[in-house]
Structure 1
């Protein structure tokens, strides 16, 4: 088998993988649809599905997950994030990213957390246990606040929500620092009840399971994920959640909800002992963490802290909060190759100040790195070109006798010291780089709305005029013309001729940045191939 056949095989494998992903999204197991809505009175009652744990708990450990928003919400914002907090329970029910517009050059910001009549995605937290206000049979606590809007003053903004009952005062404090997507949350518990109090913190993310997901060409993930001391990063899909509840105990860890480019995650303190759990209720999936029980002596004050990240998948920001949170930038099984490529792309962009130019420079670096192998590949293919007259003579001699033809060709290769597989290795090495860079360009939020030049104003979406895919197909066709072939089977020849057309249609929906990489890679390969062929021709002439 020669390099052309390997090329066909790799192309067909790529198409097969993408088709399988699309089949899974269309015909695979689907999330359950929301159940018929119940009456408001029923929703206000404790429900076994609302328990923030996979194991059964006492009735006092049941927070009530309310489905109705309060009439008025509390707003707090810094320079990059605007939050809306429901006084009932103190849940974060809206989070807008002020630096990330929905549409390029638009004014409306992306809203990660939000709640309406059709879709719910919120961050909840509270105190359960014997004396926890969120375990009260009367429902979750109604917090009071001195103001309804908190704006940043200096380098931070602080919102204090207060609840008093049975001699206990709970201050639920939210802190936002300048240029930060991390919401520090503190429960300050003042026990004036005259006896010891027992509480247990929980934090969870709740999202409607039914909704949009990735496609064949954009196989992005939407759903839960978590990290423990034993598992650095693991997805727990809505299907997994429906089949079996998560129940893992760990030191530290985190729980999150992922989507394309953005993530929300609860991060408890690294030294705390936590139980990670999942649940589902009325069509919504829940992933959360329940902390240790805390005893507050009479007359004492205790503070329980955690962090909520709501923002872009910025690896530097994520790693600063938790060592494994950056893994939510999911590069798949080639993460070990994609992460250095992302680092190299970022470093180069810092110099050229253009992501399109950075992709071109990265392509040159990759092709330079692979040049020794490329040279061997095309030298082998050049020797194959020299053997073409002898190969044709063998074809005429043996005609339809394929077995004798193959034996004669192998003897010819052995005599001339030509390896027919010599051109395969660089192609096989390039495919993992291509796939890794595909995930880098697909997952890196830095490339969202990043322009290049002329009509390419966003490298993270497809070329609107299909110029780059057409250039890619044309360059691939030219590469085939420059490459010698001994394929005699008419069917294989037709497949070879059809591959550039197939790949062109396949690349039409790919991000423009990825197609730009492939076009530049092909052009460099053509230049290298021409240079090597001319050197071989001079050598043969001499």
Structure 2
């Protein structure tokens, strides 16, 4: 095998893999939605009578009353939501060191969440809006359904009261209590608790039953998003996922995209679990109590709005007693360390695909190197040196095997002339020649196949790591997560591939194959024009190291009497 063919295989494999990923995203078959067994029909009817979410798609449900002007639907509603209007009379502002929120007192929903430490564009003052009430609805809703729940079907969303219009964090924690009381004596305090330097928000419902009879309630929380908003950070050769995901006891991480939600409503009962909406570098997620059994569900509204959330265990509060129900809302970057602490499998929203078991150690190594040098670009260079150094024995074996195969080319030609079209004798003679010369015909392929998963794993590390977003390197490279603005790195990468070709003379005689190999550096440079600068930097450094290693290997081969030229 020729080294040029190796690079061709790498390039074509990479492009094919990315094209396949994009095709799967747009046109691939979707998993069948989970549904309950028929025996649950009686339970559904009972739940419906108690006001808890029935998940009955055929039922028209009770839409929120027009007088409440709710933008949100509790799980039982099939009505299409109207865009949330930031009515200052019922909206409060919450500011911490990490979040700038707007909470609608109608339902106590988070309708805006700006991430203060993540500008929408590098150098911009405007923060990235993860949750938003306009320009693509994406809101976090929560409440209490059940027979006496404030969000129960048929009575609209509750209107909470807040002591202030603006809450700002001054210490290490900030509590924002919202209160509601009905005319029968049921009191609910919905409290948002924020911690400094954190994107976790603890959401609790303290229910006090001052009525004469027991009160039955059930906690729910959901994320609602407009599916018709285009994602502006995904390209053809760099597809990124935007959609829902959830976790169950059996599956730590499952994507459930907008097409899945449109095809069928999810309904899965599980211990612990969580429900989330994903973007390229950010995630919003509801995490219910991990010591309880919850129901993960999804809904599609008017073929435009996708909903995913959880329904907690029913709770009964006796007359004169109180009870507290809790959950956690995460709104922030895909920080693997923090997400792993929050819930089992939530860190898998940083999706490395089937090669996660390689990508995770590589990411932790990249983190460690960054802690040493303080620059993600130099960390990429160091991890490339380490990876290429670790793979040097494979590279050496690959180059020596290719050299031996080239040296056998004249003898192989003699065998072809001797046996003509007799393939059986030709095969036997070839095997005898390989055995005599101690050459493994697959010796050049196996090292390459072992290196490909590492390259693809690193590709997803660079693509998925929010740490590289707006990460500065040197000179004109101010953001490793986007393309090189002046295309210097892609051009240098193409030049390095050209030099590698020149170092390895080819025995390819077919004119068409020769032209393909000659244009390979140009083709790859064109592909690299749109790749993140961090990934192109990795490939460039990898090629430079390969040039150095090749010279070392060839020099060693010459000393041992093995010709490196055809």
**Unmatched runs of 5 consecutive residues or more in structure 2:** 31-47, 63-73
| Cα pair distance change 1:4/1:374, threshold 3 Å | same
Q: Residue 485 of structure 1: CA displacement? A: 3.5
Q: What does 1:316-327 correspond to in 2, within 5 Å?
A: 316-327=337-348
Give deviations 1:55-104, integer Å, cap 9, x for gaps.
Answer: 57997986668634352211112111111100101000000110000111
1:16 aligns with 2:33: no
Give deviations 1:383-432, integer Å, cap 9, x for gaps.
Answer: 3444455567778x579979698876665444322233222222222211
8 Å CA contact 2:52, 2:146 repeated in 1: no
Find the partner of 1:209 among 221, 227, 247: 227
Q: Residue 22 of structure 1: CA displacement? A: 4.0
Find the partner of 2:112 among 81, 94, 97: 94
8 Å CA contact 2:52, 2:147 repeated in 1: no
C-alpha separation between the residues in 1 aligned to 2:412 and 2:259?
56
Give deviations 1:149-189, integer Å, cap 9, x for gaps.
Answer: 10113111111111110211111111101111011011011
C-alpha separation between the residues in 2 aligned to 1:124 and 1:186?
13
8 Å CA contact 1:21, 1:216 repeated in 2: no
| Cα pair distance change 1:187/1:63, threshold 3 Å | farther
Give deviations 1:453-505, integer Å, cap 9, x for gaps.
Answer: 11111111111111111121121122222235333333322222232222221
C-alpha separation between the residues in 2 aligned to 1:126 and 1:26?
34
Give deviations 1:86-144, integer Å, cap 9, x for gaps.
Answer: 0101000000110000111211100100012x521000001111001111534111111
Give the 3-state SS of the residue equivalent to 1:274 in structure 2. Answer: strand
C-alpha separation between the residues in 1 aligned to 2:296 and 2:306?
14
Q: Residue 329 of structure 1: CA displacement? A: 0.5
| Cα pair distance change 1:254/1:27, threshold 3 Å | closer
Give the 3-state SS of the residue equivalent to 1:460 in structure 2. Answer: coil
Find the partner of 2:445 among 424, 427, 447: 424
1:246 aligns with 2:266: yes
- Aligned residue-pair number: 523
Q: What does 1:327-338 correspond to in 2, within 5 Å?
A: 327-338=348-359
Larger CA deviation: 102-111 vs 62-71: 62-71
Find the partner of 2:101 among 60, 65, 83: 83
1:132 aligns with 2:149: yes
C-alpha separation between the residues in 2 aligned to 1:385 and 1:309?
58
C-alpha separation between the residues in 2 aligned to 1:412 and 1:372?
25
TM-score by length of 1: 0.90
C-alpha separation between the residues in 2 aligned to 1:365 and 1:53?
55
1:349 aligns with 2:367: no
C-alpha separation between the residues in 2 aligned to 1:461 and 1:533?
37
Give deviations 1:185-220, integer Å, cap 9, x for gaps.
Answer: 110111111211111110000001112243322211
C-alpha separation between the residues in 2 aligned to 1:13 and 1:351?
34
TM-score by length of 2: 0.86
1:43 maps to none
Find the partner of 1:181 among 199, 222, 230: 199
Q: Residue 376 of structure 1: CA displacement? A: 1.4
| Cα pair distance change 1:70/1:362, threshold 3 Å | closer
1:141 maps to 158
1:33 maps to none
2:361 maps to 340
C-alpha separation between the residues in 1 aligned to 2:148 and 2:164?
27
C-alpha separation between the residues in 2 aligned to 1:408 and 1:505?
43
Larger CA deviation: 360-369 vs 400-409: 400-409
Give the 3-state SS of the residue equivalent to 1:540 in structure 2. Answer: coil
| Cα pair distance change 1:350/1:402, threshold 3 Å | farther
C-alpha separation between the residues in 2 aligned to 1:220 and 1:402?
52
Find the partner of 1:69 among 62, 82, 85: 85
Give deviations 1:493-527, integer Å, cap 9, x for gaps.
Answer: 22222322222211211111111111111111111
| Cα pair distance change 1:346/1:53, threshold 3 Å | farther
Give the 3-state SS of the residue equivalent to 2:132 in structure 1. Answer: strand
Give the 3-state SS of the residue equivalent to 1:134 in structure 2. Answer: coil
Larger CA deviation: 310-319 vs 206-215: 206-215
